[in-house]
Amino acid sequence: MTVVNFLMRIISVSFNAYLTSVIGSSGMGLFQLIMTVYGLAVTFSCAGIRLSATRVITEASFGNKYDSNKTFNKCIEYVIFFGILASLILYFLSEFISKRFIGDISCTSSLKILSISLPFVAVNAAFSGYFTAKEQIPQYSVILLTEQISRIIIIVAILKKNPEINDYPVVIVIGMTTAEIISFILAKAFKSCVSSKTSSLPSINMKEIIRIAFPDASGTLFRSLLLTVEHLMIPKGFEKSGKNLENSLSAYGNIHGIALPIILFPCAVLNSLSALIIPELAKMKEFNSRELINKTVKRNLKLTLFYSLACFAICFLGAPLLSNIIYKTDEAVQYIRILAPLIPVMYMDTVTDGMLKGLDKQFSSMIYNIIDSLICVILVYFLLPLYSVKGYIFILYISEIINFTLSFSKLAETCEIRFQKEFSKGSSMSAERKRYSAFRREYEYQ
């Protein structure tokens, strides 16, 4: 999964560089605003199903009390409603959103096309949870990679065939929507190949799916709403500080379309860890293995810290080289260097958030994300008109530090983390680990 994530990041950053050369940094800024609105719609359509499906299917498979296929079907019933509802809302409000919030009526067509993808996005999120819980990572990785490659092929093919086209966002979203449909077809085919026959065991109750999904969905949705408001306010805030619209979109595009993709590129390793640690910690929790949970959490934190410090050094020292090799420009060098010190905080927060969800603390994670987003919106409103880009950099720092501090405090409280000498003794297998491994072998044999 890590290899595929790295490959996807390489493709994504390279394709971003290609798009930037075609549509410019201001065009990337406008496209990022469209994606911000789309991100909110995606969050609503998925309704927390990725986490919920991972948890309930893990419980169904590992506990041998429920049938995983029936449970997955319940997950589909839950999420398809939200996918269709989100699609209808985005379709009928696309013109209003483009005119009132994005400030460019030409974005209407892009949003309408993206609305078609939402039911497929929702079901694909459920498939993601299923494959993660079933540890079918190669199959899931192939689906993700195929989706990304097909999206790029479609977009490039349209641009090559119609070089005179002006509405670039429409071309990009056509590729995205088609790729989501391809991903859905592949996921359905792979599940048919790997899933076992339906047993006489019952399905997990829908209430359990909702119990896990609701905190994650409501928190993520509220945070996504605040993030959408925040990102739509950013170019307007830059304008109020004295920049014209094109320069505002250009600054926004440089930060979010160029600098942050480089900063977050090495995080592919941790995204894999964050996704896969959820079912593992859920199994340990089911086994009531407190000592093993504590050691696992400590080891993950330690390795993440070392890894993130190395990535910080590479990004900070190699910013000119990275920017010029990837984007053929040095416009983003200052932003990469300014944001590089945030890497340890951002990377540690990614892993911490995944471990909290695996330990059934998604409600706490939701609250912290909401607090973080509220602070961001307030600061964007007051600081950007006064301090422009410098104010936004300050906001990014405050946001990430607050979120990580709250999340880490909750994890330390949950796992009773103590930074003692035993912290480095992760290589020796304790008696509890042996019992847990024996329990897993027995489960896999059954």
Domain ranges of the chain: 2-445
- Count CB-CB contacts under 10 A for residue 412: 15
Q: How large is the average pLDDT for residues 171-199?
A: 86
| Confidence at residue 416, expressed as pLDDT on a 0 to 100 scale | 66
Q: How confident is the model at residue 402 (pLDDT cuts 50, 70, 90)?
A: very high
State which amino acid sits at residue 231.
H
Of 237, 369, 265, the closest CA to residue 325 belongs to: 265
Q: How confident is the model at residue 440 (pLDDT cuts 50, 70, 90)?
A: low
| Confidence at residue 225, expressed as pLDDT on a 0 to 100 scale | 83
| Confidence at residue 296, expressed as pLDDT on a 0 to 100 scale | 87
User: Is the dihedral angle over the CA atoms 244, 250, 253, 255 positive or is it negative?
Assistant: negative
Q: How confident is the model at residue 228 (pLDDT cuts 50, 70, 90)?
A: confident
Poorest-pLDDT segment among 62-66, 113-117, 167-171: 62-66
Cα–Cα distance for residue pair 15/246, rounded to 1 Å? 22
Q: Select the more confidently predicted residue: 434 or 267.
A: 267
Spatial contact of 90 and 114, defined as CB atoms under 8 Å apart = yes
Q: How large is the average pLDDT for residues 223-237?
A: 79
Q: Select the more confidently predicted residue: 177 or 374.
A: 177
Q: How confident is the model at residue 426 (pLDDT cuts 50, 70, 90)?
A: very low
Q: How confident is the model at residue 313 (pLDDT cuts 50, 70, 90)?
A: very high
| Confidence at residue 192, expressed as pLDDT on a 0 to 100 scale | 80
Q: Select the more confidently predicted residue: 321 or 163.
A: 321
Q: How confident is the model at residue 314 (pLDDT cuts 50, 70, 90)?
A: very high
Task: Assign 95 to helix, strand or coil.
Answer: helix
Q: Select the more confidently predicted residue: 33 or 88.
A: 88
| Confidence at residue 284, expressed as pLDDT on a 0 to 100 scale | 81
Spatial contact of 415 and 277, defined as CB atoms under 8 Å apart = no
Q: Select the more confidently predicted residue: 331 or 316.
A: 316
DSSP state of 429: P
| Confidence at residue 324, expressed as pLDDT on a 0 to 100 scale | 83
Q: How large is the average pLDDT for residues 297-303?
A: 90
**Residue in the block written with tokens 């390793």:** 269
pTM to 2 decimal places: 0.69
Q: How confident is the model at residue 59 (pLDDT cuts 50, 70, 90)?
A: confident
- Count CB-CB contacts under 10 A for residue 328: 10
| Confidence at residue 429, expressed as pLDDT on a 0 to 100 scale | 47
Poorest-pLDDT segment among 3-12, 339-348, 394-403: 3-12
| Confidence at residue 85, expressed as pLDDT on a 0 to 100 scale | 95
Q: Select the more confidently predicted residue: 82 or 163.
A: 82
| Confidence at residue 444, expressed as pLDDT on a 0 to 100 scale | 54
Q: Select the more confidently predicted residue: 435 or 222.
A: 222
Of 382, 393, 399, the closest CA to residue 237 belongs to: 382
pLDDT greater than 50 at residue 428 = no
Q: What is the pLDDT of residues 9-58, one digit of tens each?
A: 788 878 877 887 777 767 777 888 888 899 999 999 998 898 888 888 88
Of 265, 340, 270, the closest CA to residue 301 belongs to: 270
Q: How confident is the model at residue 202 (pLDDT cuts 50, 70, 90)?
A: confident
Q: How large is the average pLDDT for residues 193-216?
A: 76
| Confidence at residue 424, expressed as pLDDT on a 0 to 100 scale | 44
For the chain, give the mean pLDDT. Answer: 83
pLDDT greater than 60 at residue 5 = yes
- Read off φ and ψ for residue 201, nearest 5 degrees: -70, 150
Q: What is the pLDDT of residues 103-148, one digit of tens each?
A: 788 889 999 999 999 999 999 999 998 888 887 878 888 888 899 9
